[in-house]
Structure 1
C-alpha cells in the first residue's frame, strides 16, 4: 500500500501554489458564488471555514460564540443568525473566490434574492438530519429563476440521526432536481471520519489536531471498494450524458480518467442539468477543502455564462453584454448600505472597467452618479482597490440616488439591466418617537433603512398621522427597531403588529380622467387619459401597459405616466392597502390641445387609476403562509386542533426520526404569537418555520370591517 499523501490547506491544491495578487487575476479565475440554505443548516459555519482554510483569516469564528467574521452585526452575534448578506474575497487554488453568505430566515429573503441576481454560482447546504426544509425550497426556486448553477453540501453528517441518502431523495422529490453524489461518507453520525472521493477513488480524511488544516489522501480500504466501484459506475453513467466520448468509452467498458469525468460533469453543472453533491461536517472541520475544490472545478467563471441582455432606456432595443474590461461600463446595484449617514453601493460589474472619478448614468432615474472610491468588502471591512473590472463584485462611495436594482452605465451607451423581484411586505407596525424632538431623527433614520432594504416600507397613516412600518415579518421589524435604538439613538413606542392586506378587483373598467389646474398668469395645466383597469390571476402582481412614446409625447412623459400609475396602485383605492393582481392599460392620451406637462399627466394618471379601481369592485386578499412544524408525536392531536381553529389546512405529515413533521397553510393573521402557543402545547419541544405562500380572498368579516362587500 502506498503511503498517504498530505495536503495542507493554505494555498495548495493538487500540488500547486495558489495565491495570486488581486490585480493579476484573470476573469477566468473568478468565482462569484453564494452560500444558501434554510436557517441553521450551517451556511456561516461553512463560510468561516472557507476563510480560514484559504488563509484569509487566522482564527475560526464560531456562530455559537458570536465571533463569526461574516456575522458582524450585533444583532447577528446575539441571536446566532445571519440577517444581512455579507461579501468577502479570498483565494483558493488558481481561483479568486467572491463569496456571499446569505441569511436563512424567511424575513430576510430579499438578501438571498438580491444575491442570486448577481451570482454566477451557489453552494446549497442541506442538513443530513433535517434534509430539505421550507427555506431550502424557497432559495432553490430563487436560484432556478436566475438559472444559477449549484453544487450541494450535505452538512452535519456527524450528527445523531444523520441520513444523507434521505436528504438526497428529498432533493429529488421536493426540488425536482438531479443530484449527483461525488463522495461517500466513511462512517456516519459520531463515527464519521472522512469521505471517499469517487472521481479520484481515494479516501480523504482531515487531521483533527490542527483543525482540519491537514488533508490526507490514501487508498480506499478493501472493504469499501465494492461500494465505491458501484457508486463510481453510477457517476460515470451520469457524466456520459454530457460527453459523447465518455459515453462511448462507458459503453465499451473502458476506464475513464477522473479529469475527463470532471470536465463532463462540469458541463452538466453549468447547464443546471445536474447538481454535484459533497458531504461533511463543517463544525467538525471535515469536508470543507474538497468543497472549495468543487467551487473551482464545477462553478462557472463570469466568462462561461450566457451574455446578459440590457435594453436601451428609450427605445427598448436589446443588447447582449460581453464580459470584457475594455467594453463600455455596465454595472448593476444590488445592495445599498448606510454607513455613518453615507451610502455604500454594492455593484456587480458586467462589462467595462470602473475607476474612481467616473461619471456614470443611472438609466432608471436619469441622473449622473460620480464614483469616489472603490472597494472589495470583507464582511464589514473595506479594502480600497484602484479599479473594478468586468466580472467583479465591488462596493463604491459617491452614489447619491442609486438604489437596489438600478443600472449604472457608460453615458455614451445607456442600458437598463433586469432588476430584482422584490417580495411584498406582509406585516405592519405603528411607531412614534418617545421624545418629540426625536421625530425628525426617526424619519431620517427610517429613510436610510429604506435605502438598504427594498422590502421595508414607511408611510404615514392619513387618518391617525402615525408612522407605519411594513416588512416581511415580526423579526424583520424587530431588527429594524433594535437598529433604530443602537445606531441612531431613537427610542420608539410601538403598536401591535398587523397584517398588510392587498386590494384587488372583480371586473374590468374603463375610465377617462381629465386633469385641469389654473396656474395664475401662466397657461393652465391640462391632461387627459383613457385608462382600463381589470383583474389578473393570483400571484401576477401589477402589470402596467403604457404605449411607446410617439411624438410629441416624449419617453420622459411616458415614464412619468408609468411611475404615477405605479404610485396610484401602491396607494390602493378604498382601504389604503396596495393593489395587486391588477392590470392597468393606458389606451389613449389626446394631444389635440397641446402637449400636456409632466405634472398634469402625473395627476391625471394617479387619480384616474384610483377612481377606476373603485368602480371595478375592489375586495381584500390576505397573506397565506406555508408552515412546517416539528413536534413529538404525543402532542400531534392538540397541535392539529389548534391549526384547525386558525383556519389552517394540513397538506402533509411525515415522521422524521423521532419527531412528527406537519406541513400546513395558515392565514398570517392567525400566526402572531404562535411560537409561545406552540411551546405551551408541546411543553417546549415543538418548533416551526414559516414562509409566505401567496394571497387568498380574505374572510367576509375582514371585508366588512374595511367597508367592502364580501366575496
Structure 2
C-alpha cells in the first residue's frame, strides 16, 4: 500500500453540540467519498459511525470513532466526536491528536452550550476550524443569526463563503462566493450529482456585497489581494483560497459554509474546503516534547525520517484486548517493533497496526509521521502516554481531564458477577480517564464516578452487554469538593524508632481559603527544597498533592485553597523519607481541621428550550431547584433559558420537564463551578451550618 503524500493528508474531527448533525454529516462524507455505498441514518440506528449498540438504541454518539476516506487526491483521517457533555473526554482526546476540525452549528438553534465547550477545547489545543451551518432546510433557519452567535458567543471571526439558494423547506443549494457560481444537488441520486450554474440576476447585488466582505477578509493575509481590490483587478479563486487558508491555519478566521446534511445538500463543497483550507500535518507547528534522558526540550516537525514519537490518545477494550489509537508525530512504526513507554519507563512490542473504519480494521504494514492508526499489543499503554524509540525516549504533552461530578454505588448480582466485576471495571477505566472506581470505606460498596447520569448509565449497561456482568445500582450521588473557611497553621514533628532505625521529619505548613473557582494551589518555595536531594524533593511534592485528594470532612478532594510550606528542615544524618512523609500525612489533615472544613457542591450551566406557553411553569420549577436564571432569549414559538442549577437538584429532571411542557421541552447542561453547599447538606455530613 502506497503511503499518502504528507501534504495531502487531512486529520480532522467533526465537533458540535448534541443533535447538530455531526454523525449525519460524517455519514454523507463517507458516502460521497465512496467509503460506503449506502447511507445509514442516525434515527434508524444504521449510521456507520455510530456502531455501538447503545449508540444505535439512543440515537446519539457516545464514543469518538475514526475512519479513513479520500477526496480529490487527499486522504482524510476523520474522527466523529460525541456532542453530549457526559462524553466530553472523547472530544478532548480527539482534538489533542487532530490538525483541524469542522464545527457544525444548527441553523435553527445556533451556538449552543456544548458548541461553546467544544470550541474552547479546540482553541486550547490551537486546532484550526472551518464551520458548517447545518439544517438550512428547517423552519426557522437563520444563518445570519448563527454568524452573529459565532462572533458574540465564541468571540471568533466568521467568514461567509456561501449564500443560500432558497430558504427553509425551499433550500435547494448554495451560491459559491469563491468561484462565483450557483451549486445545486440532485434529489434523484441522494445528492451525488452536483450541478453548477450562473448566479441568478436577482441575487447579483447581494452576492457582490457578500463577496466584497470575503475579499476584505482574505486581504488581511495577502497584501497583493488588497492591492488588486484597490485597483479593481480580478482575483482568481486559487489566490483567494490560499489567503484564506493562511488565516485558518493561524487561527484568526473561521470560514463558514451552508448545508442540509439530512437532505444531502452542501457536503461536496464542504469536502472541497476541507482539502483547500484545513492544514496538513506539514502545516502544523512542530510538536513540543521533552527528551527524558537529557531533559532537553525538543520540537518535532512532521518527518518520517526522524526518530519515532507518537501519542496514545485513545485506548479501548476490544473483545477483551487493548486497542490503542496512535497519532504519529515523527518517525515510522512497523508491526513487531519495540517501543518505549515514557510513563511506565518500560519497553513494549507492537503486535499489529490497523487503519480504522469505525469498528472495522484494515491491517497495514507501516505507519508514518502524520498518520492516525490503531495498534494491538501495547499492554500497559494508557490514554495520554507517549511511545517513542528507546534510543531517544521522548515525552509529549498529555491531556487535560475534566473532574467527574456524579457517583453511583453498584453491587454484583451473583458470586460469578462479583468475580468478573473488577476486571470489567479495569477495562472500562482503560478506555475512559473520566471514569473512576473506588470502594466506600464505610459500606464496602463499589462506587463508580463519572461525568453525569447518562455517562454512568452507559457504563452500567456496558458491564452487562460487553462483559456479561449484572449489577444492582443505587441512586446517583453528587461528588462534592472540600475547602476551608479560615486560615490555619500546623507544625508537625515525626520521630520514631522503627525496626531499629530512627525516622525523623518535620514540617510547618499553612492552609488558606481562596476565591471560588481558584482551584488548589500548593506552594513550596525553591529555597525550602534546596537542601533536599532532587528525587526526594519531587516525592515531597507528590506527597503534598496526594494529601489534598481527601479532605477531613467527608473524604472528597480539596479545592479553592492554598497550601503553603512554611518550614521544611532537612538534616542529612537524621531526616528520612519515611519521617517527612509521615509528618506531612499528619500535618495536612490537622491544619485542614483547624481551618473549619466545609463542602462545596457542583453547579451546572443549563440551557433549556421550551415552548413560550410553558416558560412561566419552567421558571417556577427552576426557582424551586435553587436555580439562578441568567437570561432568556425568545425565538419564534419558543424560549431559550440559560441558568445555573446545583447538580443535586437535576437528577431525574428530564422527566419533570417533559411533564411540565407536555413533552416539548429539552435541556442540556455542563459543569460550571463549585459553590457553598446548603445547610441541609452540611448537616448530613455533620458539619456546622
Match of 1:387 among 360, 366, 379: 366
The partner residue of 2:113 within 134, 144, 149 is: 134
Secondary structure, counterpart of 1:421 in structure 2: coil
Q: Say yes or no: does 1:538 pair with 2:532.
A: no
Indicate conservation of the 8 Å contact 1:431/1:494, yes or no. yes
Q: Which runs of 5+ in 2 are unaligned?
A: none
Q: 2:184 aligns with which of 205, 212, 233?
A: 205
Taking a change above 3 Å as real, the CA distance of residues 600 and 469 of structure 1, as seen in their structure-2 partners, is farther
Deviation at 1:279, TM superposition (A): 0.5
1:316 shift after superposition: 5.2
- The residue aligned with 1:409 is 388
CA distances 1:627-672 after superposition (whole Å, capped 9, x unpaired): 1111122211111111111111111111122111111111111111
Which of 695, 698, 706 aligns to 2:677? It is: 698
Residue-by-residue CA offset, 1:43-63 (whole Å, 9 max, x unaligned): 000101111111111111211
Post-superposition shift, 1:343? 1.4
1:68-110 CA distances to partner (integer Å, 9 max, x unpaired)? 1110110000000000000111111121111110001111111
Matches within 5 A, 1:641-656: 641-656=620-635
Q: Tell me the secondary structure at the aligned position of residue 708 of structure 1.
A: coil
Deviation of 1:387 after TM superposition, in Å, equals 2.3
Q: Is the 8 A contact 1:313 1:364 kept in 2?
A: no
CA distance in structure 2 between the aligned counterparts of 1:334 and 1:454, rounded to whole angstroms: 11
Equivalent of 1:102 in 81, 103, 111 = 81
Q: CA deviation at 1:606?
A: 4.6
Match of 2:572 in 1: 592
In structure 2, relative to structure 1, the CA distance for the partners of 1:561 and 1:676 (3 Å cut) is same
Match of 1:268 in 2: 247
Q: Is residue 282 of structure 2 the alignment partner of residue 303 of structure 1? A: yes
Q: CA offsets, 1:502-536, max 9 Å, x none? A: 01233455545556676647x46655555554444
SS at match of 2:164: strand
Give 1:425 shift: 0.7
Counterparts of 1:619 and 1:691, CA distance in 2: 24
**Cα distance in 2 for residues equivalent to 1:135 and 1:171:** 13
State the distance in 1 between where 2:346 and 2:571 align.
Answer: 28
Structure-2 separation of matches of 1:291 and 1:392: 22
The TM-score with structure 1 as length reference comes to 0.92
CA contact 2:531–2:570 (8 Å) conserved in 1? no
Give the structure 2 partner of residue 580 of structure 1.
559
Backbone CA RMSD of aligned residues? 2.2
Q: How far apart are 1:177 and its partner, in Å?
A: 1.0
Instruction: Give the distance between the partners of 2:592 and 2:134, measured in 1 at CA.
Output: 51
Out of 533, 545, 565, which is 1:566 matched to? 545
Residue 675 in 1 paired to residue 654 in 2?
yes
Structure 1 residues 354, 553: CA separation in 2 closer, same or farther (over 3 Å shift)?
farther
For residue 279 of structure 1, what is the aligned residue in structure 2? Answer: 258
Q: Deviations over 1:576-606 (max 9, x none)?
A: 1111234445663625136745x66655555
Match of 1:498 among 474, 477, 480: 477
1:8 aligned partner: none
What's the CA shift string for 1:671-705, capped at 9, x where partnerless?
A: 11111111111122211111111111112232232
Match of 1:618 in 2: 597
Q: Which runs of 5+ in 1 are unaligned?
A: 1-20
- Greater shift in the superposed pair: 533-542 or 366-375: 533-542
The verdict on how the C-alpha distance between 1:383 and 1:541 changes in structure 2, with shifts beyond 3 A counting, is farther
Aligned length: 686
Instruction: For residue 636 of structure 1, give the secondary structure of its aligned residue in structure 2.
Output: helix
- Give the match for residue 125 of structure 2: 146
Q: CA deviation at 1:281?
A: 0.7
Q: Which residue among 639, 652, 661 is the counterpart of 1:660?
A: 639
Matches within 5 A, 1:23-42: 23-42=2-21
How far apart, in 2, do the equivalents of 1:401 and 1:386 lie?
A: 22
Check the 8 A contact 1:552/1:595 in 2, yes or no. no
- Matches of 1:423 and 1:567 in 2, distance apart? 18
**What residue in structure 1 maps to residue 28 of structure 2?**
49
CA distance in 2, matches of 1:554, 1:353: 35
Out of 660, 663, 685, the residue aligned to residue 664 of structure 2 is: 685
Whole-angstrom distance in 1 between the partners of 2:580 and 2:374 = 38
Structure 1 residues 601 and 204: alpha-carbon distance in aligned structure 2, compared to 1, 3 A threshold:
farther
How big is the shift at 1:385? Answer: 1.6
